[in-house]
Amino acid sequence: MPSASDPPLEAERSAEAALLEKIEELSMLRSLNDRLTRASDFASACRTLVELIWESTHAEQVAYYSIDAPRQACRLEAALPAGAEHALASELSSETAPLAAVLAEVEPVALLPGEPLWRSLNALLCPASRTDSPNNCALIAAPTRVRGLATGLLLSRTTGRRTSLDEERRLLAIVATSAALALDASRREAREEFLAMLRHDINNPVSVALGYTEMIVDRLRSEGQGELRALADSVFESLKSVADLVSNYLHMAAIDRGTPWLSLTEVDLGRLTREIVEGYRPSAAEKGIEVEMEVGSEVVCGDRRQLGRVISNLLSNAIKYTPGPGRIAIRCRGDGSGSTLEIRDSGLGLSAGDLAKLFSKYARFHRDRRIPGTGLGLYISRAIVEEHGGQITVESDPGRGSVFTVRLPRRRRPDTTPAPSRPGGA
């Protein structure tokens, strides 16, 4: 028969079970952190996370999707068992209702087969045409977050009972929280390696090819070889696009890191504008765009190369988004407090909603017209202007064109000359 000591004994066993559970969790987290630290890159870190969940739970399938916020996309990074990646969608829009609902949750969500969200999310992850996925399994979805923003989604399918399902949901919550920062760090390292590769392996040869192609274009122009010159012009423009793409990503990295990147000198803004405009006249003429220029001599303190980038970005955008025939007017003037550069076009224009996100990273508009670009030019231009202590603004109406205005203060270059020493020492 049960003795009077049985209730305390049960409580002791319960406490012992809870302690063992905590020890197992800590052991698993230590293993996770050790293995993530040893991961050589982001892809390896994602595989490590999936492998640990696969080894530590009763899951039938485990997958991790990373979130590319600018593209509003979720990309499959790793999945188990072998072959599971073929049953899962490789990329999904993070804006679709099922994914958006799951990513908005602070804690992991456990969904049972047949529930409305389970059906919609399962159909999204595993299209009906794919029959090799465990569609009868409960689904646990655990977002990974860094500074409150979702960076990925850890998914686990299990046939376990409700009690074990709750336990696995709690376990995934702990793992997702612990892994989030390590995954984010490895992702940033991968991005830095990619930028370094761009800098050394792509940027240098493209710059050399661009220079030689420009010489060939000039030679063919002087010899009047129109047909060959048209081909050379096409090669030149393609190389220029690649060079701009690489340069934009490199400058974006410097801006994001807060790295000092301006070399200040006295710059004649008017002269710089004239030089850049003349370089763009041929491409404007090909579209039947008339370019007007009213530019005086306006000296500012700034980084000539970076200010040239701003002018080039604004002018190339005006040409890209102005269907021919059209008109672009450039004005550069000054007053006692500073200088103003204005670029006005008769192009497609933008709505009020588009204007609100115009200077955001990766912002792209009029996608239906397949206009090329990275969506980084205006983001970088604003950073450059603001680093100069200036301001860039825009006015636009759909179908009536846009006006970009750059305002730069009239400030002198910082005096770096050492002060003369006083007689008798300091």
| pLDDT for the residue numbered 64 | 93
| pLDDT for the residue numbered 426 | 31
Q: Identify whether 418 is preceded by a cis peptide bond (ω within 30 of 0).
A: no
pLDDT at 362 over 80: no
What's the pLDDT band for 254 if we cut at 50, 70, 90?
Answer: low
User: Between 387 and 195, whose confidence is greater?
Assistant: 387
Q: Which of 51-60, 185-194, 294-303, 330-339 comes out lowest in average pLDDT?
A: 185-194
Is 3.30.565.10 the CATH classification of the domain at 262-409? yes
What's the pLDDT band for 130 if we cut at 50, 70, 90?
Answer: very low
pLDDT at 311 over 80: yes
List the chain domain ranges: 22-186, 262-409
Q: What is the mean pLDDT of residues 344-348?
A: 93
Type of residue at 138: A
Q: What is the mean pLDDT of residues 123-134?
A: 64
Could you write out the three-class secondary structure of the chain? CCCCCHHHHHHHHHHHHHHHHHHHHHHHHHHHHHHHHHCCCHHHHHHHHHHHHHHHCCEEEEEEEEEECCCCEEEEEEEECCCHHHHCCCEEECCCHHHHHHHCCCCCEEECCCCHHHHHHHHHHCCCCCCCCCCCCEEEEEEEEECCEEEEEEEEEECCCHHHHHHHHHHHHHHHHHHHHHHHHHHHHHHHHHHHHHHHHHHHHHHHHHHHHHHHHHHHHHHCCHHHHHHHHHHHHHHHHHHHHHHHHHHHHHHHHCCCCCCCEEEEHHHHHHHHHHHHHHHHHHCCEEEEEEECCCEEEECHHHHHHHHHHHHHHHHHCCCCCEEEEEEEEECCCEEEEEEEECCCCCCHHHHHCCCCCCCCCCHHHCCCCCCCHHHHHHHHHHHCCCEEEEEEECCCEEEEEEEEECCCCCCCCCCCCECCEC
Q: Which of 128-137, 227-236, 239-248, 347-356 comes out lowest in average pLDDT?
A: 128-137
User: Between 118 and 3, whose confidence is greater?
Assistant: 118
pLDDT tens by residue, 287-303:
899 999 999 888 899 98
| pLDDT for the residue numbered 344 | 96
Are 150 and 143 contacting, i.e. CB atoms less than 8 angstroms apart?
A: yes
pLDDT tens by residue, 385-420:
998 999 999 999 898 899 999 999 876 444 444 443
| pLDDT for the residue numbered 131 | 43
pLDDT tens by residue, 30-76:
667 677 777 777 888 888 888 888 887 878 899 999 988 877 889 99
| pLDDT for the residue numbered 52 | 84
Neighbouring-strand partners of residue 146: 149
Q: What percentage of the chain carries pLDDT values higher than 70?
A: 74
| pLDDT for the residue numbered 132 | 46
User: Between 133 and 167, whose confidence is greater?
Assistant: 167
Give the global pTM.
0.48
| CA distances in angstroms from 105 to 98, 145, 182, 257, listed in the order given | 11, 11, 21, 30
pLDDT tens by residue, 162-179:
667 788 888 888 888 888
Do 22-186 and 262-409 show the same overall fold?
no
Is 1.20.1090.10 the CATH classification of the domain at 22-186? no
